[in-house]
């Protein structure tokens, strides 16, 4: 979801997940009653502001009529129960293993966010606050045969930041601490005005938080696994900071470390700073070379669409990330052929694998 961060009010690369499990114990009736009681009696949310989705059937698995009946018994009107067919409300471990239907709870922000909106669409009216029940009752074999699990399980999950935003009456996770504090810190350091500044500030705040957590675990930037995730987040932070005219992104790191001390028990703040400083120095030359090559192309282009091969060459030859190509292009009124880029990336992967 990295491409959605900053564009939506509640997408994050790093968040705290609240959850609970029942392994071979209680089932749907108790799970949904517990969820409803906590949201309404515990957190004080109005029942009229809640909507739910239930599984409508897929891959030979029948619709989850039991969850629908339980929500109805709890007082949900038909207008607030959305039956979703297909895989959106079906959880699985992968091609094989446990799977089962799920039912999700959404908070309705009101008709001002869309009169025809439904939970799970691209509107901002409904925000998912709890997957109140992943009901694992099947297992799938390699030949795709479904069999009942010996012990049925219930898994629930709720994003702390989204739930906090709803409880505080905010419309975005970036309006609640610590992300709101990071956004303010970034805003104070920025020296360039841009219509895209609010989006960039949200992206940087998320990426800084995620990167600092990862670096605190001792992960080093690299081109593989966790190290690649950290490198990608830090480099995007550096690139967007450059677009906002932030001369020294490392100053942001220091301020963010202090802000995040409320949620992180640091092993060594000096190590975290050193990791960011190393990656900043490593990436700085790449950033300048890539910016120069991209500017040269944009200055001479007669089309507002940057071909996928141009974006791919910037990455392959100069190590210039696609996300930065998209952001810089956006600043100058250009678009990027992302599909063309992805096709070339896939070709590159196939060739690399064959070799």
pLDDT tens per residue, range 324-337: 999 999 999 999 99
pLDDT tens, position by position, 190-204: 999 999 999 999 999
Residue 349, SS3?
A: helix
CA dist 42 and 38 (Å) reads 4
Give SS3 for 68: helix
Contact of 185 with 259, CB cutoff 8 Å? yes
Query: Average pLDDT for residues 138-161, to the nearest whole number?
Result: 93
| Ordered domains of the chain (ranges, CATH) | 2-171 (3.30.930.10), 177-354 (no CATH)
> Given pLDDT bands bounded at 50, 70 and 90, which one contains residue 234?
very high
Phi-psi region of 15 (alpha: psi -120 to 50; beta: other; left: phi over 0): beta
Which of 102, 109, 106, 107 is CA-nearest to residue 84?
A: 102
| Distance, CA of 72 to CA of 54 (rounded, Å) | 12
- Locate all alpha helices (DSSP H) within the chain, ordered by sequence: 28-37, 65-73, 160-167, 179-189, 197-216, 225-243, 249-259, 269-300, 308-318, 322-331, 338-354
Q: What number of other Cβ atoms are within 10 A of residue 251's Cβ?
A: 13
What is the structure's pLDDT at 300?
Answer: 95
User: 19, 227, 23, 37: which is closest to 130 by C-alpha?
Assistant: 19
Please tell me the distance from the alpha carbon of residue 250 to that of residue 256, in angstroms, as a whole number.
10
**pLDDT band at 122, cuts 50/70/90?**
confident
Reading the block at residue 167, the tokens are: 């409880």
Which of 265, 143, 171 shows the shortest CA–CA distance to 216?
265
* pLDDT value for 168: 96
pLDDT at 146: 92
Q: Mind listing the pLDDT tens digit for each residue in 47-100?
A: 999 999 999 999 889 999 999 999 999 999 999 999 999 998 999 988 899 999
Q: Is the peptide bond before 178 cis (omega within 30 degrees of 0)?
A: yes
């Amino acid at each position: 979801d990295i491409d959605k961060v900053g564009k939506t009010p509640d997408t994050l690369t790093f968040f705290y997940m609240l959850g609970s499990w029942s392994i071979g114990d209680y089932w749907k009736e108790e799970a949904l009653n517990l969820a409803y009681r906590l949201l309404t009696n515990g957190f004080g949310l109005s029942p009229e502001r809640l909507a739910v989705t239930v599984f409508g059937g897929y891959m030979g698995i029948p619709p989850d009529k039991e969850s629908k009946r339980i929500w109805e018994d709890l007082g949900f009107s038909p207008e607030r129960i959305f039956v979703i067919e297909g895989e959106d409300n079906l959880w699985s471990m992968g091609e094989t293993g446990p799977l089962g239907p799920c039912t999700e709870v959404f908070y309705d922000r009101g008709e001002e966010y869309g009169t025809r909106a439904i939970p799970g669409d691209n509107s901002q009216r409904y925000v998912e606050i709890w997957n109140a029940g992943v009901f694992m009752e099947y297992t799938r074999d390699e030949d795709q045969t479904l069999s009942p699990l010996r012990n049925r399980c219930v898994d629930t999950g709720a994003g702390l930041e989204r739930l906090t935003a709803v409880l505080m009456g905010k419309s975005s996770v970036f309006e609640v601490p610590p992300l709101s504090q990071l956004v303010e810190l970034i805003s104070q350091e920025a020296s360039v005005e841009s219509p895209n500044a609010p989006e960039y500030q949200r992206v940087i705040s998320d990426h800084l938080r995620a990167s600092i957590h990862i670096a605190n675990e001792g992960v080093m930037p690299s081109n593989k696994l966790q190290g690649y995730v950290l490198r990608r987040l830090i480099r995007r932070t550096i690139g967007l900071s450059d677009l906002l005219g932030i001369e020294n992104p490392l100053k942001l790191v220091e301020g963010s470390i202090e802000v995040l001390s409320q949620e992180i028990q640091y092993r060594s703040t000096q190590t975290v700073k050193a990791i960011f400083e190393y990656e900043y120095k490593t990436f700085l030359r790449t950033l300048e070379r890539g910016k120069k090559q991209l500017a040269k192309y944009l200055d001479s282009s007669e089309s507002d669409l940057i071909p996928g091969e141009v974006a791919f060459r910037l990455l392959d030859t100069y190590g210039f990330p696609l996300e930065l190509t998209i952001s810089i292009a956006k600043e100058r009124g250009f678009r990027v052929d992302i599909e063309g880029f992805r096709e070339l990336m896939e070709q590159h992967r196939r060739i690399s694998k064959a070799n």
